[in-house]
């Protein structure tokens, strides 16, 4: 049975100058960003003042300073003079105190803004979650292209059931309409028949008291009288 190659694990990188020019430039950019980031964290956590000046292999200058590089360099270069001049030293301290107060105020505003941004971000996430929940509850309102197979089958069954229900309702409506129309026609025919019977009775001869006609004789007599009424004179 072949043995699995053992993992080398995390190895310590040998600290030596990089000979490949491209690798050297990439490493410098990464390490410079990391150095400035660590310095910024140190200033925020401990409130220290830092000035960093870096020259790249191509002799480009990069700097980082808190509160700024110029003030720190000026204070460093004029350190001996300020030590011998208490008045100048006090003035410099007042300027630095005022500057630090402004920096603290800006940091406080930044913290508040970041807090508001975080609150709005959470609010947006909550709204997105509510929207997704609403869409999942009313999934049939989503575009057809966004439905899965199960939802499409369920939508098809619902539409077929709705079509069947509408067909039944339409059939019932037509039956009711036909029934109402038939009833109306029957009433019209019956009314016309009654009018004809009345006119026929008016034209019948006067029979002697006690004379009775059979049904057949009565019908024949009515038909003959109705035919006479229906014919126009001349």
Indicate the number of domains in the chain.
Answer: 3
In a domain, 173, yes or no: yes
How many Å is the Cα radius of gyration of the chain? Answer: 53
* Rounded CA separation 43/49 (Å): 6
101 lies in the same domain as 132: yes
pLDDT at 8: 54
Dihedral over Cα of 198, 200, 206, 209: its sign: negative
Using the 8-state DSSP alphabet, how is residue 68 labeled?
Answer: -
In a domain, 185, yes or no: yes
Distances (CA, A) of 192 to 116, 189, 200, 221: 88, 5, 12, 18
Q: What pTM was estimated for this model as a whole?
A: 0.33
pLDDT at 200: 58
pLDDT tens readout for residues 31-73: 998 898 888 888 888 888 888 989 888 888 898 888 888 888 8
166 lies in the same domain as 183: yes
pLDDT tens readout for residues 142-157: 777 777 788 788 888 8
63 lies in the same domain as 105: no
26 lies in the same domain as 80: yes
Query: Which residues are paired to 53 by β-bridges?
Result: 63
**Residue 108 belongs to domain spanning:** 85-137
**Which segment of 105-109, 134-138, 205-209, 218-222 scores lowest on mean pLDDT?**
205-209
* Rounded CA separation 19/121 (Å): 46
| 42 neighbors 50 (Cβ within 8 angstroms) | yes
53 dihedral zone (left: phi>0; alpha: psi -120 to 50; beta): beta
pLDDT at 215: 53
In a domain, 93, yes or no: yes
* Rounded CA separation 146/125 (Å): 22
pLDDT at 234: 45
21 lies in the same domain as 72: yes
* Rounded CA separation 203/224 (Å): 10
pLDDT at 2: 45
Mean pLDDT, to the nearest integer, of 161-180?
Answer: 80
φ, ψ at 15 (rounded to 5°): -85, 105
Mean pLDDT, to the nearest integer, of 210-232?
Answer: 52
158 lies in the same domain as 186: yes
Q: What is the mean pLDDT of the chain?
A: 72
What angle in degrees, to the nearest 10, is found between the helix axes of 215-230 and 149-203? 90
153 lies in the same domain as 99: no
H or E stretch including 54? strand 50-55
pLDDT higher than 50, residue 232 = no
CATH number where 43 lies: 3.40.1810.10
For 152, the 3-state DSSP assignment is: helix
pLDDT at 231: 47
pLDDT tens readout for residues 185-219: 667 767 766 766 665 555 555 444 444 445 555 55
77 lies in the same domain as 21: yes
pLDDT class of 23 with cuts at 50, 70, 90: confident
H or E stretch including 141? none
131 lies in the same domain as 157: no
69 lies in the same domain as 105: no
In a domain, 159, yes or no: yes
pLDDT at 9: 54
In a domain, 96, yes or no: yes
């Amino acid at each position: 049975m072949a043995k699995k190659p053992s993992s080398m694990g995390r190895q310590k990188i040998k600290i030596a100058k990089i000979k490949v020019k491209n690798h050297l430039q990439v490493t410098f950019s990464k390490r410079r960003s990391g150095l400035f980031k660590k310095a910024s964290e140190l200033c925020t956590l401990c409130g220290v003042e830092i000035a960093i000046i870096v020259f790249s292999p191509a002799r480009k200058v990069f700097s980082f300073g808190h509160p700024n590089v110029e003030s720190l360099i000026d204070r460093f270069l004029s350190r001996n003079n300020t030590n011998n001049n208490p008045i100048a030293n006090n003035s410099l301290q007042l300027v630095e105190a005022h500057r630090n107060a402004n920096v603290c105020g800006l940091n406080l505003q930044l913290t508040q803004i970041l807090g508001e941004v975080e609150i709005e971000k959470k609010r947006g996430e909550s709204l997105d979650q509510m929207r997704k929940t609403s869409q999942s509850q009313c999934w049939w309102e989503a575009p057809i292209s966004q439905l899965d197979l199960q939802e499409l089958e369920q939508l098809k069954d619902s539409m077929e059931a709705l079509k069947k229900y509408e067909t039944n309702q339409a059939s019932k409506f037509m039956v009711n309409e036909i029934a109402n129309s038939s009833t109306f026609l029957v009433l019209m025919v019956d009314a016309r028949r009654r009018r004809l019977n009345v006119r026929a009775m008016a034209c019948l001869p006067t029979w002697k008291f006690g004379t009775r006609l059979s049904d057949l004789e009565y019908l024949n007599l009515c038909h003959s009288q109705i035919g006479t009424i229906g014919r126009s004179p001349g």
